[in-house]
Amino acid sequence: MNMPQQVLLRDAMRQLNMTRDAFAERIGSRRRALDAWLLPDESNEFRAMPEVARRFVSEILASDGRRGEYTQSAHEGALRKSMAVEGSLHLLSVSQFNRDAIDELFHLADVMQPIARRRKVSRVLEGAVLANLFFEASTRTRVSFGAAFCRLGGSVCDTTGFTFSSMAKGESIYDTSRVISGYVDAIVVRHPEQGSVAEFARATNVPVINGGDGPGEHPSQALLDLYTIQREFSRLGKLVDGAHIAMVGDLKYGRTVHSLIKLLALYKGLKFTLISPPSLAMPAGIVDAVSRNGHVVEIAATPAQGLAGADIIYATRIQKERFAHDEVLEGFDNAFEINRALVESACKPDVVVMHPLPRDSRPGSHDLSVDLNNDPRLAIFRQTDNGIPVRMAIFATLLGVDKLVSRSMRDAAWTPPSHIGPDDSTFHGLD
């Protein structure tokens, strides 16, 4: 079966590390034509790519591409290797990844897009069962992992909180992990202690995914964040290499920023501006490692001082639940609120505003403001939507069905709304 044109084109731009403009020039077409070829099939502006252009892109990839997607045999790619931890497959940390593995994962996420957009269905994971073990609060991570597994044909068992789990009776991580492994084929764990999910993984040969271990890591979030950054940049004609990323808020306890900055450090020549109250600064070990990789890291006291020139604002919530009992929040005032007035006055016009969510929308929280909700620069819901294809790609890899997905797709029997959210029509064509 022919690879969908959107997957082929995105693969080509990733492998050649070219902006849309440079790539359009390389294949001798106009940028507008390339934009229309990249839109989802169901979009009104979508255009089919001429066969001659498809052949030309395939030839360029075969001669200049970094990776032999077309010759690579099943289960031998960088991605599967990156998931191997002590003889089993797990996703515990972003440090498992290199750029080839990321490219492979994002290729697979692109393949999943028609399923994530509810145009196609697949049953490659029919009969498989996922355990979602969440010992901390979660909405999107738990539901999107569950939905991603279901959309590949699997089923999900959920447990939430300590109170209703046997851990409240003093059961060890080892016992819980071994017991659950007898019931299911993959496990997602969120737990308040750093390192606890790796401990779960050591007690089982069933794939374990870290859904957040205290202030440690949140690798699937960082992967979907990077996927979002790449897709936003593709449209805006930018590359991750050389980008300026501003991270704002709780950089001490926020596991999403810990994982994201480490993942971005795999790219070249980035500039990071870290904006937080001094008591919530990014851990020095992470800053040192990123600087040693040749990136520029600057610290700014307020967003107004740090946002100039940024390509991405990545705002975060204050993680009050992780504060020591005598720890007080100081110096986090309304100067930290990312809102329309600040974006207009301090940022480049093509800045992209992101947040892992949830944002604290209560008065006085100074989190990302709702006044940007229908501004196309706000990417937070495109970001959450991207959680589905990226998590589907993670499951398909961990369970070894990645090569079967394309062939398994059938048309969906129902039609979803053309725009999922009430403000989404403003974002039409942002692909």
* Binding residues for ligand NCD (CB under 6 A): 140-141, 212, 218, 221, 255-256, 317, 319, 356-357
Q: Measured from the CB atom, is 295 or 359 closer to ligand NCD?
A: 359
CB of 381 to ligand NCD, least distance (A): 13
Q: Measured from the CB atom, is 65 or 356 closer to ligand NCD?
A: 356
CB of 212 to ligand NCD, least distance (A): 5
Q: Taking the CB of residue 75, how many other CB atoms lie within 10 A of it?
A: 12
Q: Measured from the CB atom, is 79 or 354 closer to ligand NCD?
A: 354
Identify the CA nearest to 314 among candidates 360, 374, 363, 254.
254
Contacts of 15-23 with CB under 8 Å at 24 or more apart are 15/61, 15/64, 15/65, 15/66, 15/67, 15/103, 16/60, 16/61, 16/64, 16/65, 17/239, 17/241, 18/239, 19/234, 19/237, 19/238, 19/239, 20/234, 20/235, 20/237, 21/237
Dist CA 61 CA 415 (whole Å): 35
CB of 258 to ligand NCD, least distance (A): 10
Dist CA 19 CA 346 (whole Å): 26
Q: What angle do CA 346, 348, 353 make, to 5 degrees?
A: 85
| Antiparallel, parallel or unpaired: β 155-160 and 208-213 | unpaired
Q: Which residue type sits at 224?
A: L
CB of 296 to ligand NCD, least distance (A): 26
Contacts of 284-291 with CB under 8 Å at 24 or more apart are 286/258, 286/261, 286/262, 289/262, 289/265, 290/261, 290/262, 290/265
CB of 390 to ligand NCD, least distance (A): 12
Polymer length in residues for the chain: 431
CB of 386 to ligand NCD, least distance (A): 12
CB of 95 to ligand NCD, least distance (A): 18
Q: Measured from the CB atom, is 218 or 231 closer to ligand NCD?
A: 218
Residues in a beta bridge with 131: 157, 187
CB of 255 to ligand NCD, least distance (A): 5
Identify the CA nearest to 310 among candidates 245, 355, 247.
245
Residues in a beta bridge with 353: 313, 378
Q: Measured from the CB atom, is 344 or 360 closer to ligand NCD?
A: 360
Q: Measured from the CB atom, is 18 or 286 closer to ligand NCD?
A: 286
Q: Measured from the CB atom, is 216 or 303 closer to ligand NCD?
A: 216
Q: Measured from the CB atom, is 272 or 314 closer to ligand NCD?
A: 314
| DSSP codes joined into one string, 164-218 | TSGGGGT--HHHHHHHHHTT-SEEEEEESSTTHHHHHHHT-SS-EEEEEETTS--
Q: Measured from the CB atom, is 15 or 220 closer to ligand NCD?
A: 220
CB of 424 to ligand NCD, least distance (A): 20
